[in-house]
Amino acid sequence: MPLPHLSTLRFLFLSSFPALSPSKFPSFCSPKSRSIFTVLAASSPKRRRSGAPPSQSFNRRNNSSLREIKGKEKSAAMEEAEAASFGFNKRRAEGRDKGDLAKKNLQLKVRRLNPVNTIAYVQILGTGMDTQDTSPSVLLFFDKQRFIFNAGEGLQRFCTEHKIKLSKIDHIFLSRVCSETAGGLPGLLLTLAGIGEAGMSVNVWGPSDLKYLVDAMKSFIPNAAMVHTRSFGPALSSDIDAAHELSKFCDPIVLVDDEVVKISAILVHPSSNRGFQPFNEDDMGQSNRSQEERRNHDSEARSSTSKSSSAVKPGDMSVVYVCELPEIKGKFDPSKAASFGLKPGPKYRELQLGNSVMSDRQNIMVHPSDVLGPSVPGPVVLLVDCPTEAHVLELMSLQSLKTYYEDLSDQAETGKVVTCVIHLSPTSILGSPNYQKWVKRFGSSQHIMAGHDRKNVSIPILKSSAKIAARLNHLCPQLFPAPGFWSPQQLTLPGSDSCASTEIEVSDHYKSTLAENLLKFTLRPYAQLGFDRSSIPSQESLSEVINGLHSDIPEILDAVHHVTQLWSGSAGTDTNIHVEDSHTMVEEPWFNENNIPSCLENIRRDDLEIVLLGTGSSQPSKYRNVSSIYINLFSKGSMLLDCGEGTLGQLKRRYGIEGADAAVRGLRCIWISHIHADHHTGLTRILALRRDLLREVPHEPVLVIGPRQLKRYLDAYQILEDLDMQFLDCKYTTQASLEAFQKVATEIDNSPLEGPISSTDGNNIDGGKKTMSSLFVRGSRMQSYRKGPSSPIDINAAMPLLKNMNKVLNEAGLEALISFPVVHCPQSYGVILKAAERVNLDGKVIPGWKIVYSGDTRPCPELMEASRGATVLIHEATFEDSLMDEAVAKNHSTTSEAVDIGNSAGAYRIVLTHFSQRYPKIPVIEERHMHKTCIAFDLMSVNVADLLVLPKVLPYLKLLFRNEMMVDESDDIVTLEA
145, part of any domain: yes
Lowest model confidence (mean pLDDT) among 58-67, 175-184, 465-474: 58-67
pLDDT at 582: 37
Average pLDDT on 108-116 reads 66
Specify burial of residue 636 (Cβ count, 10 A radius: 0-12, 13-18, 19+).
middle
pLDDT of 776 > 50? The answer is no
Same domain, 249 and 339: no
Instruction: Note the pLDDT tens digit of each residue in 822-861.
Output: 999 999 999 999 999 998 878 889 999 999 999 999 999 9
pLDDT at 762: 34
Give me the CATH number covering residue 156: 3.60.15.10
Confidence of residue 806 (pLDDT cuts 50, 70, 90): very high
Same domain, 806 and 922: yes
341, part of any domain: yes
- Identify the CA nearest to 930 among candidates 909, 957, 956, 913: 909
Please state the domain count of the chain: 3
pLDDT at 48: 36
Q: How far is CA 59 from the centre of its chain?
A: 60
Same domain, 346 and 252: no
pLDDT of 728 > 50? The answer is yes
Same domain, 134 and 184: yes
Contacts of 213 (CB under 8 A, 6+ apart): 177, 182, 185, 206, 717, 720
pLDDT at 502: 35
Contact 298, 278 (CB under 8 A): no
pLDDT of 715 > 50? The answer is yes
Written in H, E and C, the secondary structure of 735-773 is HHHHHHHHHHHHHHHCCCCCCCCCCCCCEEEECCEEEEC
Q: What percent of the chain has pLDDT over 90?
A: 41
Torsion of CA 697, 703, 709, 713, to 10 degrees: -10
Same domain, 696 and 646: yes
Q: Is 233 left (phi over 0), alpha (psi -120 to 50) or beta?
A: left
Same domain, 342 and 254: no
β-bridge partners, 423: 384, 449
Same domain, 817 and 895: yes
The residue out of 408, 430, 449 marking a domain boundary is 449
Contact 819, 734 (CB under 8 A): yes
Average pLDDT on 392-420 reads 79
Q: How large is the C-alpha radius of gyration of the chain? A: 32
> How many CA atoms does the CB half-sphere of 33 hold within 13 Å?
27
521, part of any domain: no
Confidence of residue 61 (pLDDT cuts 50, 70, 90): very low
Better-predicted residue by pLDDT, 375 or 465: 465
pLDDT at 20: 37
d(CA 43, CA 82) in angstroms, rounded, equals 12
Same domain, 266 and 353: no
Same domain, 215 and 349: no
pLDDT of 64 > 50? The answer is no
pLDDT at 904: 94
194, part of any domain: yes
pLDDT at 23: 40
Contact 356, 365 (CB under 8 A): yes
Better-predicted residue by pLDDT, 417 or 750: 417
Contacts of 530 (CB under 8 A, 6+ apart): 446, 521, 522
Confidence of residue 38 (pLDDT cuts 50, 70, 90): very low
The residue out of 395, 414, 449 marking a domain boundary is 449
Instruction: Note the pLDDT tens digit of each residue in 161-185.
Output: 888 887 788 899 999 999 999 999 9
Same domain, 210 and 347: no
Other C-beta atoms lying within 10 Å of the C-beta of residue 40: 16
Average pLDDT on 870-884 reads 95
Same domain, 410 and 352: no
Contacts of 904 (CB under 8 A, 6+ apart): 25, 27, 28, 864
Render the burial of 522-539: b for 16+ CB within 10 Å, e for the rest.
bbbeeeebebeeeeeeeb
Q: What percent of the chain has pLDDT over 70?
A: 69
Instruction: Note the pLDDT tens digit of each residue in 519-534.
Output: 999 999 888 999 999 9
Lowest model confidence (mean pLDDT) among 97-111, 324-338, 502-516, 699-713: 97-111
- Identify the CA nearest to 171 among candidates 241, 258, 252: 258
Instruction: Note the pLDDT tens digit of each residue in 594-622.
Output: 578 999 998 999 999 999 999 999 888 88
* Global pTM value: 0.81
- Identify the CA nearest to 870 among candidates 818, 915, 808: 818
Better-predicted residue by pLDDT, 508 or 698: 698
280, part of any domain: no
pLDDT at 812: 95
Confidence of residue 216 (pLDDT cuts 50, 70, 90): confident
350, part of any domain: yes
426, part of any domain: yes
Lowest model confidence (mean pLDDT) among 494-498, 674-678, 911-915: 494-498
135, part of any domain: yes
Average pLDDT on 105-134 reads 75
Same domain, 217 and 343: no
Domain that holds residue 356: 334-370
The residue out of 402, 434, 449 marking a domain boundary is 449
pLDDT of 33 > 70? The answer is no
Lowest model confidence (mean pLDDT) among 1-5, 118-122, 530-534, 701-705: 1-5
Lowest model confidence (mean pLDDT) among 29-33, 475-479, 809-813: 29-33
